[in-house]
C-alpha cells in the first residue's frame, strides 16, 4: 500500500564540547561510520568544513558566558523524508535517489533551517552515503538576548512547541508532496541513533545454496527433491509463521494509522464546531448588549423629549421618532417601522433582523446627537434629524 511521503525532523542535544566534536566528526566523515558507503559523498552545505572549525566557532559564539554543568551547548537537527519521496518507483532501493527530488528538498530544507536558526548555524551537511538522503545541522542555542539557553529557543520547548516545529517543517516541504506525520498517532519519537538504525536496515537475502542439502552419490532427482522438501519443511514452516506475524503487524499498523487519521479528522471537526459555537455565543452576547444599549438610549431620549423639550416627536428628512401614550414609534423612508410599548420595546427590537438592528443603532446615535445639541442651544427649537 502506497503512503504519501512524510517529513522527518529529529532534534538532538549535545551537552559538552566532546559531544559536539564527536557529532562534527561524524557529520563531516572524518571518522569511520559503519553504515556509510565510502564511494558516496557528504556535502557541506553551510558553515564550517572541519570538526575543529565547528568547535572554534561554537566557542566564539558562546564567548565568556558561564556554562551550567547540565547545559545544552549545541544541538544536532536531522531533517529527512520517506524513501518514497527520493525514489518513488523503488523505495526499497537503498542508496538511490532522483537528483531533481534531492535538489528541491535540499533547497526547501536549508531555507527552513536558515529561517529558524540563522546565524546560530555551525554546520549544515547533506549525507548521501547512507540508505536515504538526510541533512544534519549543528547549531548553538543562543537566544535573542545573546545568552546560551537551549530551553528558551523554539527547539528546546515543550512537547506542543516541538509539535509546532513539525508542523512548520512539514509546511516548508508540502509543495514537494511531502506531508506531516499523523498528529496524535501511536508512533513515538525516535532518537537520531534509532533513526539511523531504521533507515540503514537491509532486508535479509535468502541464499538457497546455504539451505539445500548436498545431493547423495547416484541419488535420483525424484529422491533428491523429496529429501530436499523434507529438509526444508521446518524452515518453511518457520518462515510462513514469520510472514504471518509480519502480516498481522502490518495490518495492525494500518489499523492504527487509519484510527489516527480518523481521530485527527474528528478533532479538527470538533475544533471547527467549537470555534463556530464560540463565534455564535459572542455574536449573541454582542446582540444582547446592543439591545440593552438601544433600549436604554431610546428611553432616556424619550424622557428627555417630554421633560426637557416639551415635545413628543422628532420629525426629520429621513427619520421620525414619536412618544405617545406609553408607546414608542420609529420610522424611516426606507421602510423601517417599529411601533411598540415601552414594556415590550426590548423584546420587539430583539426580533429585528441584523440589518434593521444596525439601522436602529445608527438612528439612535443620530437622535442622541440631535437632542443633546438642541438642549445645549435652546430647548424650544424645532428638532430636525
More confident residue, 66 or 104: 104
Exposure of 85 by Cβ count < 10 A (0-12 exposed, 13-18 middle, 19+ buried)?
buried
- Between the alpha carbon of residue 283 and those of residues 146, 276, 279, 288, 356, the distances in Å are 45, 10, 6, 9, 16
Is the alpha carbon torsion for 364, 365, 370, 373 positive or negative? positive
Residue 205 pLDDT greater than 50, yes or no: no
Three-state SS for 345? helix
Q: Ranked by mean pLDDT, which of 168-172, 222-226, 256-260, 293-297 comes out on top?
A: 168-172
Domains in the chain and their CATH numbers?
A: 7-199 (3.30.930.30), 253-385 (no CATH)
Residue 142: HSE in the Cβ half-sphere, 13 Å Cα cutoff: 18
- Give the CA angle between residues 286, 288, 293 to the nearest 5°: 95
Angle at CA 71, nearest 5°, toward 65 and 75? 100
Q: What is the pLDDT of residue 209?
A: 52
Q: Of 58-62, 363-367, 369-373, which range is least confident?
A: 369-373
Mean pLDDT of 216-242: 72
- The angle formed by the CA atoms of residues 373, 377 and 380, to the nearest 5 degrees, is 100
Residue 14 clears pLDDT 50, i.e. is over it = yes
Is it the case that residue 309 has pLDDT exceeding 90?
no
Q: How confident is the model at residue 79 (pLDDT cuts 50, 70, 90)?
A: very high
Of all residues in the chain, what percent carry a pLDDT higher than 90? 24
Contact between residue 167 and residue 75 where contact means Cβ atoms under 8 Å apart: no
Average of per-residue pLDDT across 287-310 = 71
Give the mean model confidence (pLDDT) for residues 258-276. Answer: 81
Identify any residues that bridge with 47 across adjacent strands, giving them in sequence order.
123
Choose the most confident range, by mean pLDDT, from 43-52, 187-196, 323-332, 367-376: 43-52
pLDDT of residue 104: 97
Amino acid at each position: 500500500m502506497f503512503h504519501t511521503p512524510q517529513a522527518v525532523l529529529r532534534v538532538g542535544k549535545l551537552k559538552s564540547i566532546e559531544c559536539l566534536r564527536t557529532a562534527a566528526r561524524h557529520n563531516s566523515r572524518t571518522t569511520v561510520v559503519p553504515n556509510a558507503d565510502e564511494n558516496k559523498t557528504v556535502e557541506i552545505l553551510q558553515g564550517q568544513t572541519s570538526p575543529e572549525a565547528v568547535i572554534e566557532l561554537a566557542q566564539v559564539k558562546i564567548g565568556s558566558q558561564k556554562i551550567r554543568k547540565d547545559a545544552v551547548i549545541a544541538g544536532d537537527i536531522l531533517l529527512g523524508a520517506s524513501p518514497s519521496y527520493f525514489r518513488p518507483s523503488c523505495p526499497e532501493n537503498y542508496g538511490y535517489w532522483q537528483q531533481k527530488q534531492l535538489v528541491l528538498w535540499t533547497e526547501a530544507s536549508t531555507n527552513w533551517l536558515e529561517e529558524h536558526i540563522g546565524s546560530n548555524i555551525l554546520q549544515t551537511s547533506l549525507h548521501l552515503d547512507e540508505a536515504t538522503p538526510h541533512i544534519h545541522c549543528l547549531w548553538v542555542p543562543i537566544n535573542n538576548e545573546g545568552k546560551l539557553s537551549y530551553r528558551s529557543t523554539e527547539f528546546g520547548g515543550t512537547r506542543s512547541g516541538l509539535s509546532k516545529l513539525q508542523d512548520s517543517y512539514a509546511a516548508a516541504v508540502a509543495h514537494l508532496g511531502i506531508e506531516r506525520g499523523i498528529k496524535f498517532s501511536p508512533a513515538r519519537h525516535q532518537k537520531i541513533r534509532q533513526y539511523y538504525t531504521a533507515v540503514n536496515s537491509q532486508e535479509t537475502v535468502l541464499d538457497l545454496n546455504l539451505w539445500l542439502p548436498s545431493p547423495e552419490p547416484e541419488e535420483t532427482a525424484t529422491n533428491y527433491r523429496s529429501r530436499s522438501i523434507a529438509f526444508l519443511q521446518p524452515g518453511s514452516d518457520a518462515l510462513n509463521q514469520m510472514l504471518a506475524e509480519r502480516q498481522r503487524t502490518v495490518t495492525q499498523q494500518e489499523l492504527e494509522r487509519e484510527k489516527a487519521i480518523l481521530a485527527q479528522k474528528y478533532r479538527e471537526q470538533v475544533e471547527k464546531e467549537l470555534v463556530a459555537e464560540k463565534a455564535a455565543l459572542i455574536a449573541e452576547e454582542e446582540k444582547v448588549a446592543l439591545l440593552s444599549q438601544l433600549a436604554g438610549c431610546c428611553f432616556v431620549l424619550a424622557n428627555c423629549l417630554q421633560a426637557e423639550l416639551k415635545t413628543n416627536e422628532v420629525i426629520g428628512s429621513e427619520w421620525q421618532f414619536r412618544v405617545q401614550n406609553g408607546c414608542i414609534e420609529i420610522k424611516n423612508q426606507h421602510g423601517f417601522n417599529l411601533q411598540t410599548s415601552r414594556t415590550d420595546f426590548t423584546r420587539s427590537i430583539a426580533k429585528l433582523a441584523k440589518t434593521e438592528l444596525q439601522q436602529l443603532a445608527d438612528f439612535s446615535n443620530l437622535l442622541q446627537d440631535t437632542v443633546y445639541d438642541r438642549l445645549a442651544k435652546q430647548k424650544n427649537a424645532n428638532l430636525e434629524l
